[in-house]
Structure 1
Amino acid sequence: MRLFYLFLLLLLTSCYQVERNCLDYKTGTYKSTIVIDDVSYVSTFTRTEELQIETFESKTDSASVRWINDCEVVFKTINPKNMAERKDIHLKILTTTDSTYTFEYSYVGETLKQKGVATKIE
């Protein structure tokens, strides 16, 4: 009988798929929230097919956009001012809803990843 319940549980959970309608989030205006060490960081950005313009703590920065596939993108800062800004950022959309997406990002080639949520404003 336990085997039956285990099989039933496995069958039901294997049918569940995380929703990822990444194409809905390729362009638009967003508010992004990231929590690092219990501190919440909020930025706003507008993304087109080729460019992302982001404002964080009253500073605006621009990056070129290169989509790897429907759910993964690489950002390259257009006018880097220091070594950290010269590193490309890889972002992967993990899940989507009708107005938000959860993502993880890291510098290209590094293993430390951070997670955040972006909410579509327009």
Structure 2
Amino acid sequence: MMRYLIFLLPLLSCYNVKKDCNAFKLGTFEFSTIINGEIKTSRFIRSKSLEVEFYENKVDSASVKWVSNCEFILTKINPKSNQDKRPVKIEILSTEGKEYFFEYSLVNNPKKRFRGKATKVN
């Protein structure tokens, strides 16, 4: 058993996660999630400094501040509640084709993180 582990260890250490974050800084994207057993999809358009989201016939906008090549912070422009006033930190973990996998959390609560996948549609 130990021989197999010694053989596999060098192979596993060569695996690199693909991360082409530049391809996902601008464009139109879709994100789907399950809420109360139902799949909900939002579409958002991201420019250099602005993200506009379309969800269930509502439009919301947020400023975008890139803090590194693969991390950015979204801050709602017209927050309607105290919850909306909290900025969200998003980190792109990996990319594959037209999709990127990400992790997000409130800036002031980094211990409570969620993951998702967004697809570039344009």
TM-score, L = length of structure 2: 0.91
Gaps of 5+ in 2: none
Structure 1 segments (4+ residues) deviating >6 Å: none
Partner in structure 2 of residue 83 of structure 1: 82
Q: Provide the aligned length of Structure 1 versus Structure 2.
A: 121
Question: Distance between the aligned counterparts of 1:98 and 1:18, measured in 2?
Answer: 13
Partner in structure 2 of residue 17 of structure 1: 16
Gaps of 5+ in 1: none
Partner in structure 2 of residue 119 of structure 1: 119
- Structure 1 residue 44 corresponds to structure 2 residue 38: no
Q: 1:102·1:118 contact (CA, 8 Å) conserved in 2?
A: yes
Question: Distance between the aligned counterparts of 1:37 and 1:19, measured in 2?
Answer: 33
Deviates more, 1:61-70 or 1:102-111: 102-111
- Look up the SS of the partner of 1:112 in the other structure: strand
TM-score, L = length of structure 1: 0.91
Q: 1:101·1:117 contact (CA, 8 Å) conserved in 2?
A: yes
- Look up the SS of the partner of 2:112 in the other structure: coil
RMSD of aligned residue pairs (Cα, Å): 1.4
- Structure 1 residue 62 corresponds to structure 2 residue 58: no
Question: Distance between the aligned counterparts of 1:34 and 1:92, measured in 2?
Answer: 18
